[in-house]
Amino acid sequence: MTDTLAGRPPIAQERRIVTAIPGPRSQELEARRRAVVPVGVSSALPVYIDRAHGAIVVDVDGNQFIDLGAGIGVTTIGHTDAAVVAAASSQLADFTHVMFTVTPYESYVRVAELLAEHTPGDFAKKTVLLNSGAEAVENAVKIARKHTGRPGVAVLEHSYHGRTNLTMAMTHKAMPYKLGFGPFAPDVHHAPGSYPFRDGLSGAEAAARTIAWLEKTVGAADLACLVVEPIQGEGGFVVPADGYLLALQEWCAATGVVFVADEIQSGMARTGRYFASEHSGLVPDLVLSAKGIAGGLPLAAVTGRAEIMDASHPGGLGGTFAGNPVAAAAAVAVFDSIRSRGLLAEGARIEGVLRPALLGLQRRFDRVGDVRGLGAMLAMELVTPGTFEPDPAAVTAVTAYAAQHGVLLLNAGTWGNVIRFLPSLAIGDELLIEAVGVIEEALAAL
Ligand code: PLZ
């Protein structure tokens, strides 16, 4: 554990609640926030964060939470990871911005090399860097349209792809993401997907349904791309049935539809591989990264087959802050850390501790309908006992109880009835077990 730059004492990797939650200082800040931040920007837990390290966040009242969310899967290698702090700090002192499309710099190129090396597929690849996940999705669509000369965009039910106009159109859930924010970008088609717990279909059956739906209602010849999350994130950590995504990829290859894997939440060592696509043998035409790629700094990427990526004319892709040098330096440090510290093994370690613990909860509580996920991306879906009826109220109660007891827990799912676990890879086994113990108490108290 290193000291922070400010020379403050290191943060012990332990849970500690010393005030009511939220504490008095957080409540003061919340009152100031209400005056100046619109209600549209809400916070899952209004404790104001002072600092963080590893798998612990510390609020302004001195409470320490076990962080099972990592800022929605962003600080994947841990909060204030020493290598990331050092790389970003050093770049900060050298230069913070020149704009790659005005005068370039090495770290952008290095990130592109690393992504070419670590995304699936043994062929020439190129990368454009952006600021946010939504912007990566937008650029993938631009590139696929330019490459194919076709307009249509296909996505799956329960998808989440962002909050910009085009990506709202590509996101499945109306509340809170879309309601009243339309009209949306046209020519976006939501096909039925694969949700084994709810549809009971095999991968082959679900793929046949998706493909038939797309062929009947759109037609492959009008589709530029099919964008899928290898594991659906906001949709509830839905892992499609075996063979489903591979069948879609084959259909795309046969019909000239660009197959895009949105790995913004599932990528970058989250599931024990660099990209979740690898678990199912996928070789997407384009892979989207963001979130965990730069250790908490804003950076996103579209990486893909060189001939597709090169479809755009010079000057067609870019953005002022896109590929910011501080964020790019942090991304290089994240890649180096994953390799030099063997962090790909951590996803399997976390799954090895967490999955049996969650299955234990499922045996004890019949409202735990499903336990699923991969690596450090696991979830449980809560239902009314003995049914498939979603129980979002139970999730709200469990996450509220957990917060009061020092565990930061996120929900997910189209019905809001999924508890998701996406801790940083830095979390120790003891903290994981302790956190599950708190969740067990919460379930027992329902
Ligand atoms: N694609 C698969 O998970 C972001 C959003 C949380 P941005 N998911 C968390 C929220 O409430 O805004 C996400 C994702 C997948 C795209 C995105 C969008 O990434 O960086 O938030 O734009």
pLDDT digits (tens, 9 = 90+) for 202-221: 999 999 999 999 999 999 99
Question: Confidence class of residue 417 from pLDDT cuts 50, 70 and 90?
Answer: very high
Is residue 6 included in any domain, yes or no? Answer: no
CA 133 to centroid of ligand 1, rounded, Å: 6
C-alpha separations of 84 from 76, 78, 124, 189 in Å: 11, 10, 28, 39
CA 366 to centroid of ligand 1, rounded, Å: 31
Residue 1 has pLDDT above 50, yes or no: no
Nearest Cα residue to atom 6 of ligand 1: 72
Nearest Cα residue to atom 20 of ligand 1: 133
Q: Are residues 371 and 240 in the same domain?
A: no
CA 112 to centroid of ligand 1, rounded, Å: 21
CA 266 to centroid of ligand 1, rounded, Å: 11
Task: Read off the amino acid at residue 208.
Answer: A
CATH code (residue 197): 3.40.640.10
CA 161 to centroid of ligand 1, rounded, Å: 6
Cis peptide before 176 (omega within 30 of 0): yes
Ligand 1, atom nearest to 164 Cα = 22
CA 443 to centroid of ligand 1, rounded, Å: 28
Ligand 1: residue of 153, 167, 234, 297 to mutate (most ligand atoms within 8 A of CB) is: 234
Nearest Cα residue to atom 1 of ligand 1: 161
- Tens of pLDDT, residue by residue over 148-180, are 999 999 999 999 999 999 999 999 999 999 999
Q: What is the pLDDT of residue 7?
A: 77
- Cα separation, 205 vs 266, in Å, equals 24
- Tens of pLDDT, residue by residue over 375-403, are 999 999 999 999 999 999 999 999 999 99
Is residue 13 included in any domain, yes or no? Answer: no
Q: Are residues 66 and 92 in the same domain?
A: no
Q: Are residues 437 and 375 in the same domain?
A: yes
Nearest one of 321, 431, 396, 446 to 70, comparing CA atoms:
431
Contact 236, 276 (CB under 8 A): no
- Cα separation, 82 vs 90, in Å, equals 12
Residue 5 has pLDDT above 80, yes or no: no
Nearest one of 17, 71, 68 to 399, comparing CA atoms:
68
Kindly state if the Cβ of 398 falls inside 6 Å of ligand 1. Answer: no
CA 322 to centroid of ligand 1, rounded, Å: 17
Q: Are residues 106 and 73 in the same domain?
A: no
- Tens of pLDDT, residue by residue over 248-266, are 999 999 999 999 999 999 9
Q: What is the mean pLDDT of the chain?
A: 97
If you average pLDDT over residues 303-312, what whole number do you get?
Answer: 98
Ligand 1, atom nearest to 263 Cα = 2
Question: Confidence class of residue 318 from pLDDT cuts 50, 70 and 90?
Answer: very high
- Tens of pLDDT, residue by residue over 424-443, are 999 999 999 999 999 999 99
Question: Confidence class of residue 405 from pLDDT cuts 50, 70 and 90?
Answer: very high
Is residue 36 included in any domain, yes or no? Answer: yes
- Helix, strand, or coil (residue 391): coil
Last residue of a domain, one of 299, 323, 340: 340
Q: Are residues 182 and 94 in the same domain?
A: yes
Q: Are residues 322 and 247 in the same domain?
A: yes
Is residue 16 included in any domain, yes or no? Answer: no
Q: What is the pLDDT of residue 4?
A: 55
Q: Are residues 326 and 384 in the same domain?
A: no
Per the structure, how many domains does the chain have? 2
Q: Are residues 183 and 93 in the same domain?
A: yes
Q: What is the pLDDT of residue 362?
A: 98
Q: Are residues 218 and 145 in the same domain?
A: yes
Residue 192 has pLDDT above 80, yes or no: yes
CA 349 to centroid of ligand 1, rounded, Å: 26
Nearest Cα residue to atom 21 of ligand 1: 133
If you average pLDDT over residues 135-146, what whole number do you get?
Answer: 98
Is residue 3 included in any domain, yes or no? Answer: no
Ligand 1: residue of 291, 299, 377, 414 to mutate (most ligand atoms within 8 A of CB) is: 291
CATH code (residue 377): 3.90.1150.10
Nearest one of 425, 421, 282 to 345, comparing CA atoms:
425
Question: Structural domain of residue 248, as residue ranges?
Answer: 84-340
Nearest one of 191, 200, 155, 163 to 179, comparing CA atoms:
163
Kindly state if the Cβ of 72 falls inside 6 Å of ligand 1. Answer: yes
